[in-house]
Structure 1
């Protein structure tokens, strides 16, 4: 699907929820920070709220969005000040959002997309070995959960419809792992950060899956603000995030997310995702499969 079509499409049946201090109670408008289901685990949502309120000196609402499309629409319509999104939505939305901070996983601004299958499928080592599967995607605006494997199929002259027996979206990377682990899907595509954390924590679903292939490295999902946000507030948020590892609440937040720190973002970290988005658009020729996936 064309990425501009994705951005313009109306969101149907979307559900969002907000956590935090009510503006009416505090007498001061809240800072609204958006997250998707990707990042909500181990009570991190409350740690986000506590950390941001302490650092910004104002009430904070953490707003959960059920899709990246919904998060982008909220940013574009000034319903949120900032959000933690994925690199593909950032590339799509550069016209109305700007980079604020980059989570550092193992101290680096990179992550990989993983193809996963049932643990018993020890002979699967490439996307080619997944032909005919029922395949689980995350979100049509997810880099690791959609864009990477779809562009890889372009390299094979295929589409998801021609290559897989069936596909579906979970709108949660955790649920991709659950779908494959339970057998609801034969295989799927997931953020390596999420799979590694679930596997490390001995998640029953993750332990029933194995990595088929890992992608090349792409820019880790960034934190962005809307472009029309007051520059001083953007800078305040950025400084708070970049110094999080020096603050007790910040360190607690980072630990809950299995991150080391937040880094000053660089535009060129998203060049690889921009190239994939252009291939999906048809404005860039396909690239070899070997440029997309490394071996597992």
Structure 2
């Protein structure tokens, strides 16, 4: 059941969205500055699937905003990050590490609007390490001198958190594994492990819900839903601490009216079109919760430490 605070926020945002929409229709000021609303889509699965999942969101935004909406599926996380920094995108859903990377590189580039609330009411998810179910590996210790596939260097669950936490637990990836690499995205890394190109990989999951379905939300759920993965084919052998759900961000330099309108649209999306909200979110959710920069300070500091260790 959707949390009471979500419903209250949604009601308030609905009124705000209606009010702002009416105002901008009269003045059209922000539309003169933003005649096209460009949405970045992170890499991690094939482009056709990403565009399919976002098609309903594009239609929804065009109706609510009254301007053309263009979708830009980047080949990796960095493409979306640079698109936002350079002003070539107005909006995107980011992982926490991607947001941290932008905040460190260009603090005035973007601001968070909302984050995802899971079906259990939490605002977080997990990084998990998986191996083939028919492999001999039953624990992390069994992977000594084996190979590990990270997802993307700007992924929170697919690199930053597992690299940080494994090292703190005494399993420094640089020393513990014989080789680490990047699969080119979460889905691609899973496929690489299934094809015996790597012994293990890391990805993201809500960690709640039915395991056979890939849990309620995450890369595993998306792969199961489209028939690309059977959960019986993998074994999860490690799980991170809870990770902050990534933000939906907008460029700081766009007009405030547009920011307010987008926040209202996002909060209301699960109430108006739940299927579309869950297609964009990558699985079952309660809703979208307004959020600010301070929510991501721990991840920002984690990324700073990782950058410092690389320089060292």
User: Does TM, scored on the shorter chain, surpass 0.5?
Assistant: yes
Bigger shift: residues 96-105 or 74-83: 96-105
- Pairing 1:262–2:262 present: no
What value does the CA root-mean-square deviation take over the aligned residues?
2.4
Q: How many residues align?
A: 254
In structure 1, C-alpha distance between the alignment counterparts of 2:303 and 2:199, rounded to whole Å: 26
Structure 2 unaligned blocks of 5 or more:
1-31, 206-217
1:63-74 paired onto structure 2 within 5 Å? 63-74=72-83
Q: Equivalent of 1:36, from 2, 23, 42? A: 42
- Pairing 1:119–2:133 present: yes
- Pairing 1:252–2:261 present: no
Q: Quick one: structure 1 residues 37 and 70, their matched pair in 2 at CA, closer, same or farther if it must change by over 3 Å?
A: closer
- 1:53 match: 62
Cα contact 2:81–2:102 (8 A) shared by 1? yes
1:51-200 paired onto structure 2 within 5 Å? 51-94=60-103, 95=107, 96-106=109-119, 107-121=121-135, 123-126=137-140, 128-155=141-168, 159-192=172-205, 193-199=218-224
3-state SS of paired residue (1:99): strand
3-state SS of paired residue (1:145): helix
Cα contact 1:105–1:258 (8 A) shared by 2? no
3-state SS of paired residue (1:114): strand
What is the deviation of 1:67? 1.7
Q: Equivalent of 2:304, from 274, 278, 283? A: 278
Q: Equivalent of 1:236, from 258, 261, 264? A: 261
In structure 2, C-alpha distance between the alignment counterparts of 1:119 and 1:272, rounded to whole Å: 34
Q: Quick one: structure 1 residues 122 and 222, their matched pair in 2 at CA, closer, same or farther if it must change by over 3 Å?
A: farther
Kindly indicate which of the two structures has a greater share of residues assigned to helix: 2
- 1:212 match: 237
3-state SS of paired residue (2:44): helix
| TM-score in terms of structure 1 length | 0.77
In structure 1, C-alpha distance between the alignment counterparts of 2:40 and 2:175, rounded to whole Å: 36
What is the deviation of 1:112? 0.5
3-state SS of paired residue (2:134): coil
What is the deviation of 1:123? 4.9
Bigger shift: residues 191-200 or 92-101: 191-200
Deviations 1:109-137 (A, max 9, x none): 211001111112465233x4322122111
In structure 1, C-alpha distance between the alignment counterparts of 2:94 and 2:231, rounded to whole Å: 23
Bigger shift: residues 162-171 or 62-71: 162-171
| TM-score in terms of structure 2 length | 0.74
Deviations 1:152-182 (A, max 9, x none): 3432566433222222212211111111122
Cα contact 2:50–2:73 (8 A) shared by 1? no
